[in-house]
Amino acid sequence: MQYSKTSIHHISVKMKIKSKIWIILLFISAFFRQADSQSLTESIVFKQEAEQKFLEAMRLFRNARFDTASSAFVNIIKEYPRSHRTTGAYIMGGKAYYEAGKYRESIHLLKDLIDVFPQSTYSDDAHYSLGLNYYRLERYEDAASEFITIVQISQKPKLLERSRKLAEMITSSYLSLMELKVLRLDTRTDEMSALVDLKTAEKLQREGDFVSANELLNKVALMPPNIKYVADALSMLERTAKEGGIKIGLVLPLMVKEENPSARVLGMEFLQGIQLAIEEYNQNSPVKIALEIRDTERDPSIAARHVADLCSDESVSIIVGPVISSEVFAAAGIANERGVPLITPTATANGIAAIGPFIFQANPDYNVRGRAIAAYAYNAFDARNFAVLAPADMVGKQIAESFVAEVDSLYGEVIDVEWYTPGSTDLRTELTTMRRKAFAKLEVPTVDFGAKMKQAVLDRIRDWGVEERILDSLIERKLKAPVTFLFGKRGKIISDSLKIETQVEKFKYDSLEFPVTNIDGIFIPITNPDEIAVVSSQLKFFNINALILGTGDWNDHDALYQSQQYTDKAIFTVDTYTDIKSDEYKIFAGKFKLANNNKMPSINSLIGYDVAKLVAYVMSQGKTKRADVAEALSKVQGFSGLHSKISLSLNRVNSYLLIMQYKNRQILKIGEIDLANQGK
């Protein structure tokens, strides 16, 4: 189609007119949209009545009549929803409700203000008041979110500073790790992201998770240096690197104030072994372990105070020590209550680990020692009948009672338990009684076939099942037959039920020419090696032929050798045994001597080394939080140390012991036992 110039001109004019009209319409539309937005935020419509009522409500607010004031502000909103005082009534109504303690009503009103008038100049004030309300209701995550929002949107310096401080306080003191992770999703600025990451790292450190904490701190440290929390993150990283990241508290009898050097030997031996184990760990681990060392001065009250101080240090993941039972009893309850794992390397008293789930004994207690030797004799030597000769002190009674309980659980029999005064050299009364009770077990009722016996009695015996030929032989030879021979194990009961007259043959237990042979093993938990000669020689004199069973005090070669005619084949448990010819020990001893002026390691150094190695091993598996360390330790079975193995899965007490025997003038290792594996 062809257009003339005139037509084109008319079309052009029409198009220009339409374009101008369209521009005008767009301008009018934008104007009304802006006016509508203005009406929804800060309405420009002035209402004298609204002004008067607002001023009256403010007078009530200033006079602390908050309930009345809140009602007045709400009425303004209802009566004048588009007045110049509407948004002011919202914010002041919310504040009045807050001051009146009506936090939920305040939240409702303030959220309406933010939803209906999102562009209001009161918006940041509304978020601040919302945060205060949530804080009062202990909705700390919501409170922190509101204060963080203010920091991200407000331009008011005083409000910003107050909100920042409140956000720091709440994230530091009230939020869990999970709540901090959720809150982190709401952050929209580097500053607030850094704040939440910093507080999360602090909490991770308090719980012992230094690996995760350092990851977050490094993330914050890489932000622009003008970000408020970057310097704090760098400082924490520097402090963590300096202090080692993870701390182990040591509570040992170092006796640093004592002038006599010999008083310091025990604590120093443990410390030197522990230090070597931690040095080895730190050489190969990116997260270092630092030691917080405390001196108990061999005073239980001082030990308890040090443990309390270490529990207050959130970076301490576990406490090693004390090493003396009395000090452990004084301190362990504090550690358990605070949820801090405490492992004592050498305390042996019963009941320490029973204090609670955070307490561990790396050394077997008296209960384990008594049970272990009974179980080993029963299983390895087929011993079934036992006797006990124990010192009448607290330790002797506890360990003997554990032995008896284990024999009972195995359905063995304890023929007699005798107590002697520790240090006594005369055991005549105890061993005479033991002989009498042993022989009493052999005294079995008999039926006398040599005496005149009524036919009715013979008939009852025959009717029960005794063979005719046996009866004829007994009558012909006029013999006495034990009821167990005639009727079996229940012979006494059966003979009584058949009304058969019986007689008991008394053994002459006071005649030492007759040996006691029905005791398989006699448990003698002596108090010190000096008693070996006394008890073993008198046992021989009273002709009690039983395998001697003992505990660690029997582990004295000189004492055993001097009484070798009485002690040969005696077996006993020990909690330490080191093969000094092994490559592993030689490497350890070389390192120890290098670190300690060519000094050879003692047993205490070995124990300290092994316990520290166990703790470091647990931490190398990522278990650095206190609860995680305790849980991991409670599952330990058969951890191989240089002095022994450590198994803590049985009531958090080491259930492993070595079995030794004195034979042919030598002490030999003949076995081992872990009560945690008994019956498996």
Give the model's pLDDT for residue 283: 85
- Residue 93 pLDDT level (bands cut at 50, 70, 90): very high
Give the model's pLDDT for residue 242: 64
Q: Which residues contact 106 (CB under 8 A, 6 or more apart)?
A: 94, 95, 96, 97, 98, 129, 133
- Residue 97 pLDDT level (bands cut at 50, 70, 90): very high
- Residue 33 pLDDT level (bands cut at 50, 70, 90): very low
Residue 137 resides in a domain: yes
Give the model's pLDDT for residue 286: 67
Q: Is the pLDDT of residue 28 over 80?
A: no
Do 394 and 316 fall within a single domain? Answer: no
Residue 21 resides in a domain: no
Decide which of 226, 243, 260 is a domain's last residue. Answer: 243
Region 488-512 average pLDDT: 81
Q: Is the pLDDT of residue 350 over 90?
A: yes
Give the model's pLDDT for residue 218: 87
Q: What integer best gives the mean pLDDT of the chain?
A: 88
Q: Is the pLDDT of residue 421 over 90?
A: yes
Do 570 and 585 fall within a single domain? Answer: no
Region 544-562 average pLDDT: 96
Report CA-CA distances (Å) from 104 to 74, 131, 143, 167, 223: 15, 12, 13, 21, 39
Give the model's pLDDT for residue 652: 97
Q: Is the pLDDT of residue 31 over 60?
A: no
Residue 14 resides in a domain: no
Q: Is the pLDDT of residue 307 over 50?
A: yes
The 3-class secondary structure across 586-608, one letter per residue, is: HHHHHHHHHHCCCCCCCHHHHHH
| Alpha carbons 552 and 573: distance in angstroms, whole number | 6
Residue 567 resides in a domain: yes
User: Is there a cis peptide before residue 322, judged by omega within 30 degrees of 0?
Assistant: yes
Q: Which of 21-30, 175-184, 440-449, 533-542 has the lowest mean pLDDT?
A: 21-30
Region 300-323 average pLDDT: 95
Do 82 and 207 fall within a single domain? Answer: yes
Q: Which residues contact 268 (CB under 8 A, 6 or more apart)?
A: 254
- Residue 679 pLDDT level (bands cut at 50, 70, 90): low
Cβ neighbours, 10 Å, residue 555 = 20
- List the alpha helices (DSSP H) in 285-393: 300-312, 325-338, 366-380
Residue 598 resides in a domain: yes
- Residue 189 pLDDT level (bands cut at 50, 70, 90): very high
The CATH number that applies at residue 185 is: 1.25.40.10
Residue identified by tokens 């506890």 is: 398
Do 129 and 236 fall within a single domain? Answer: yes
Q: Higher pLDDT residue, 445 or 654?
A: 654
Do 110 and 181 fall within a single domain? Answer: yes
Do 522 and 381 fall within a single domain? Answer: yes
Do 58 and 184 fall within a single domain? Answer: yes
Give the model's pLDDT for residue 315: 85
Total domains present in the chain: 4
Do 151 and 234 fall within a single domain? Answer: yes
Give the model's pLDDT for residue 37: 39
Q: Which residues contact 105 (CB under 8 A, 6 or more apart)?
A: 70, 97
Distance of CA 277 to the CA centre of its chain: 22
Do 319 and 268 fall within a single domain? Answer: yes
Report CA-CA distances (Å) from 130 to 41, 69, 92, 149: 19, 18, 12, 11
Give the model's pLDDT for residue 211: 67
Region 528-536 average pLDDT: 96
Do 213 and 347 fall within a single domain? Answer: no
Q: Is the pLDDT of residue 605 over 80?
A: yes
Give the model's pLDDT for residue 510: 67
Please check whether residue 370 is in contact with residue 658, taking contact to mean a CB–CB distance below 8 angstroms.
no
Give the model's pLDDT for residue 214: 81
Give the model's pLDDT for residue 489: 74
The CATH number that applies at residue 282 is: 3.40.50.2300
Buried b (16+ CB within 10 A) or exposed e, 126-164: bbbbbbbbbbeeebbbbbbbbbbbbbbebeeeebbebbb
Please check whether residue 343 is in contact with residue 370, taking contact to mean a CB–CB distance below 8 angstroms.
no
- Residue 477 pLDDT level (bands cut at 50, 70, 90): confident
Decide which of 549, 574, 599 is a domain's last residue. Answer: 574
Residue 152 resides in a domain: yes
- Residue 244 pLDDT level (bands cut at 50, 70, 90): low
- Residue 422 pLDDT level (bands cut at 50, 70, 90): very high
Do 323 and 472 fall within a single domain? Answer: no
Which amino acid is it at 648? L
Residue 235 resides in a domain: yes
Q: Which of 229-238, 571-580, 610-619 has the lowest mean pLDDT?
A: 229-238
Q: Is the pLDDT of residue 61 over 80?
A: yes
Residue 662 resides in a domain: no
Q: Is the pLDDT of residue 366 over 80?
A: yes
Report CA-CA distances (Å) from 625 to 213, 216, 293, 355, 403: 12, 17, 20, 21, 38
- Residue 563 pLDDT level (bands cut at 50, 70, 90): very high
Q: Higher pLDDT residue, 506 or 147?
A: 147
With a pLDDT cut of 70, the percent of the chain lying above it is 91
Decide which of 217, 243, 269 is a domain's last residue. Answer: 243
Domain around 539: 367-441+510-574
Give the model's pLDDT for residue 18: 42
Region 189-211 average pLDDT: 83
Region 489-493 average pLDDT: 83
Region 75-99 average pLDDT: 91
Do 377 and 418 fall within a single domain? Answer: yes
| Alpha carbons 187 and 510: distance in angstroms, whole number | 92
